[in-house]
Amino acid sequence: MEPEDMYVLSGDGAIISSPSPKPYPHKPSKCSDCASLFMKAYHMRNAGAVIHSHGMESCLATMINPHLKEFRVTHMEMIKGIKGHGYYDELVIPIIENTAYENELTDSFAKAIEAYPKTTAVLVRNHGVYGWGDSWISAKTQCFGFSSG
């Protein structure tokens, strides 16, 4: 991915620049339907980067009990990589319900960020995970193994 392949958005989410068009057979690009969710993490948590993944692990975690509104785990080595957590701490990641369109998740996503001040990720039931950090490397770590790749 090159800089000319990316959308650049202003602080309020308006498109400042769009990717250069690619020749056939490439499809025309479109800005992510997740942009409003990314902006919430940038503004509410001062994130430097936000990652969204449709990893199988994140979907399975939300399916363990369809009535749970949180994923909770403790005594796992991976917790030490999550900001503000150690091995013996309990990691709590909020789960929000999926919608037909990702931009419809914005309000519940913002409410989850507000209700869980220590969280660095939000799970979306049967869909995926959004995680954030100071950099893309940190954001990937904060997804607690729920992001594929």
Catalytic residue annotation: 77
The span from the CA of 65 to the CA of 78, in Å, is 22
Query: Can you name the residues that pair with 53 across neighbouring β-strands?
Result: 129
Measuring CA to CA, how many Å separate 38 from each of 41, 119, 145? 5, 15, 19
Phi/psi for 129 (5° steps) reads: -140, 145
